[in-house]
Amino acid sequence: MAHFKEERTLVIVKPDGVQRGLIGEVIKRFERVGLKLVGAKMMVASPEHIEQHYTLDPNWRRANGEKTIKAYRDKGLTPPSEDPLVVNSATLNGLKVYLSSGPVVCMVWQGAHAVQIVRKIAGGTEPLASADIGTIRGDFALDSYQMSDVDKRATRNVVHASGSVSEATDEIAHWFKPGEVISYRLLNEAIIYAPELGSFLGD
Ligand code: ADP
Ligand code: MG
């Protein structure tokens, strides 16, 4: 089994994040927790590339629709439809427009528990209700499902982050060629991972 520190995840600064000058803010938050940036590029994605990205996991459509319906119910609101796939098809259409509307910054971050740590720092999907203050989505976005659904667009929440280790593996392969992700050593990784720190005293 690979060591914990080998885990990788995909982060995308979405077009709203780029336009609002938040690229550095996003990078800072992942860098300071101790993760290592092993791939980065700016690109403009096609709507087809975005649809493929979100449907790499065949269960995503249903899961996203169910999550949205539950979020409406939790607020005491009526969901746009009772059918998760109907709810999701509007979301997917909105995502294709949103994520191909301008440049995005794609990154691969590596480190122990990278997938879960990055999700925790990114925050929940919906800025209004599920993204806590202190997270990227909670600190830098105010969108809601009800507002984005009325306006027939995807919820703007600044970043994408892979939801699981297997999703991360598939998504990294979808956005990066093998040579674009770089294996290298950071000198200060020893402080985070070395089983014995030894002594820092003396010259
Ligand atoms: P996450 O990005 O947190 O993994 P999902 O994979 O469920 O969340 O959804 C992908 C993206 O689709 C979200 O980040 C958000 O931009 C958008 N989105 C999700 N649900 C809705 C919805 N009900 N209406 C509009 N946009 C949505
Ligand atoms: Mg997701």
pLDDT per residue as tens digits for the range 63-100 = 999 999 999 999 999 999 999 999 999 999 999 999 99
Which residue lies with its CA nearest to atom 15 of ligand 1? 155
pTM over 0.85: yes
pLDDT at 1: 78
Task: Please state the atom number of ligand 1 nearest to the C-alpha of residue 163.
Answer: 4
Q: Which residues, by Cβ under 5 Å, contact ligand 2, an ion?
A: 163
Q: How many CB atoms lie within 10 A of CB 127?
A: 24
Q: Residue 53: name the closest of 115, 20, 81, 11 by CA.
A: 11
Q: How many CB atoms lie within 10 A of CB 46?
A: 12
- Residues 93 and 116: their CA atoms lie apart, in Å, by 27
Tell me the CA–centroid distance for residue 115 and ligand 2, in Å.
12
Domains of the chain: 4-44+102-181 (3.30.70.141)
Tell me the CA–centroid distance for residue 59 and ligand 2, in Å.
11
Long-range CB contact pairs, 144-153, < 8 A, 24+: 145/68, 145/71, 145/72, 146/72, 146/75, 146/77, 148/94, 149/80, 149/90, 152/90, 152/94, 153/94, 153/97, 153/98
Tell me the CA–centroid distance for residue 192 and ligand 2, in Å.
28
Each residue's pLDDT, cut to its tens digit, for the chain (203 residues) gives 789 999 999 999 999 999 999 999 999 999 999 999 999 999 999 999 999 999 999 999 999 999 999 999 999 999 999 999 999 999 999 999 999 999 999 999 999 999 999 999 999 999 999 999 999 999 999 999 999 999 999 999 999 999 999 999 999 999 999 999 999 999 999 999 999 999 999 98
Is there an atom of ligand 1 within 6 Å of 148 CB?
yes
In angstroms, the Cα distances linking 151 to 8, 40, 78, 144, 155 are 35, 32, 16, 11, 10
Is there an atom of ligand 1 within 6 Å of 146 CB?
no
The dihedral over CA atoms of 192, 195, 197, 198, expressed in degrees to the nearest 10, equals: -170
Return the ∠ at Cα 192 (arms to 188 and 198), rounded to 5°.
85
Which residue lies with its CA nearest to atom 26 of ligand 1? 154
